[in-house]
Amino acid sequence: MSDPSLPVPAVAVIGGSGLYRLFEPGTAREVDVATPYGPPSGPVSVGTFGGRPVAFLARHGAGHALPPHRVNARANLWALASLGVRAVVSSTAVGSLDPTLAPGVFVVPDQLIDRTTGRADTYFDGAPGGASGVEHLAAADPFCPQLRAVALEALRAAGEEVRDAATTVVVQGPRFSTRAESRWYRAAGADIVNMTQYPETVLAAELGLGLVNLSFVTDTDAGVLPGEADAADAALVLERMAAAQPRLLALLGAVVAAVPDDYEARELVPRTASRRVLALAPVDGAA
Ligand SMILES: CSC[C@H]1O[C@H](OP(=O)(O)O)[C@H](O)[C@@H]1O
Ligand SMILES: Nc1ncnc2[nH]cnc12
């Protein structure tokens, strides 16, 4: 049963590397949400952010305990949807594959290439106890165009020189790419590289949630700048995310505040099918 004293958060923030907390200590409620897909990365915090009730989940868990390939994205998105979330603003750290895209810039990707393997990437997989039926997500535009427009306007209003479209390639990790892989992804049309945007992005869409991603470029990926000895490393990524945190929080707040109250995501699988997923373990008011 849902807790009637808990405000319904229509918007969620998923925090990536370097973002493990959204609310000041003592100002949010922590909710443990059980899901048919196992436990999410941690408790969901519900508090006020950007002037509205917001749910927050740290993708890698407290203390960055979960590597990218072990993040249970199905449980994470399900937990957020079951609390009433309709719009997700996710943050990620990314490497640049474009010599003209320098570290320190925010990117709002519009396309995605999946290079992960073996991740549970659908609710409609016929698993016993899982969602029933055969559904095919319309994934041509995996990030919500309406939320992307909202985010771009908010970032520009905040004075950011944002890259307003980009293709993100999602690699399996936890290792970074070789120089040859990096050059291959670039040749295939990718602008940025990351380890977590898949399957998170498409799972949100399967549940009928709109998702927009704020990617912060922390590094230039190996092999991008000829002759340079550049190579991403986790310490550098985390150091740069820590330095960018005040900026990231301010931008997330501006984006969250700008999501229209009546926002409804596009229907990329029939709503009846998304509801069938959520109905597996109903939470009052979620379906
Ligand atoms: C800590 S370095 C690699 C790590 O950083 C990115 O995390 P996230 O996408 O959650 O911001 C990348 O995807 C890797 O998981
Ligand atoms: N270069 C890189 N490759 C993959 N994921 C990243 N996250 C941040 N930088 C990255």
Structure tokens at 60: 């890698």
Task: Provide the domain limits for residue 110.
Answer: 11-279
Report d(CA 31, CA 43) in Å as an integer: 5
Cβ-contact 31, 257 below 8 angstroms: no
- Number of structural domains found in the chain: 1
Task: Give me the helices (H) in the chain, please.
Answer: 73-82, 145-157, 179-187, 197-206, 234-258, 271-278
pLDDT of residue 260: 98
> In the structure encoding, which two tokens stand for residue 200, read together?
């998170």
219-229 average pLDDT score: 83
Helix 271-278 with 73-82: angle, nearest 10 deg: 100
**Token pair belonging to 34:** 């059980």
**Residue holding tokens 């609310």?**
23
Q: What is the pLDDT confidence band of residue 231, given thresholds at 50, 70 and 90?
A: confident
The CATH number linked to 211 is 3.40.50.1580
pLDDT tens by residue, 11-68: 999 999 999 999 999 999 999 999 989 999 999 999 999 999 999 999 999 999 999 9
Nearest residue (by CA) to ligand 2, atom 1, is 95
Dist. CA 149 → ligand 1 center (Å): 24
Lowest mean pLDDT among 58-67, 201-210, 220-229: 220-229
Whether residue 111 is contained in a domain is answered as yes
- The answer as to whether 285 is a domain residue is no
Residue 17 annotated as lining a ligand binding site: yes
Query: Is residue 287 situated within a structural domain?
Result: no
Predicted pLDDT at 282: 47
Residue 1, domain member (yes or no): no
Based on the number of CB atoms within 10 Å of its own CB, is 49 exposed (0-12), middle (13-18) or buried (19 or more)? buried
Distance CA 15, CA 58 (A): 5
1 is in an annotated binding site: no
Place of tokens 């570290």: 103
CA atoms of 201 and 14, how far apart (whole Å)? 11
Question: Bigger pLDDT: 4 or 41?
Answer: 41
Q: Which ligand is nearest to the CA of 195?
A: 1
Identify the pLDDT of residue 38: 92
- pLDDT tens, residue by residue, 72-128: 999 999 999 999 999 999 999 999 999 999 999 999 999 999 999 999 999 998 766
CA distance 255 to 268: 23
Pairing of strands 210-220, 106-107: antiparallel
Once rounded to an integer, what is the mean pLDDT over residues 249-269?
Answer: 96
Domain-located, residue 76: yes
Residues of the chain with pLDDT > 90: what percent?
82
Q: Whose alpha carbon is nearest atom 12 of ligand 1?
A: 195
Ligand 2 pocket, residue 221 CB under 6 Å: yes
Q: What is the mean pLDDT of residues 139-146?
A: 97
Q: Is residue 82 assigned to a domain? A: yes
Residue 239 in this model has a pLDDT that exceeds 90:
yes
Q: Which of 207, 218, 196, 194 is nearest to 41 (CA)?
A: 196
The pTM is what? 0.95
CB 193 near ligand 2, within 6 Å:
yes
Q: Of 144, 123, 116, give the one whose Cα is nearest residue 76.
A: 123
Question: Tokens 């993100």 map to which residue?
Answer: 168
pLDDT at res. 230: 65
- Tell me, what's the ipTM? 0.99
Both structure tokens of 156: 């520009």
Q: What is the pLDDT of residue 285?
A: 40
The answer to whether position 4 is within a domain reads no
Q: Is the pLDDT of residue 284 over 60?
A: no
**Residue numbers annotated as active site:** 219, 221
Q: Is the pLDDT of residue 6 over 50?
A: yes
Distance linking the first and last C-alpha atoms of the chain: 13
Q: Is residue 286 part of a domain?
A: no
Instruction: Using the mean position of ligand 2's atoms as its centre, give its distance from the Cα of residue 273 in Å.
Output: 34
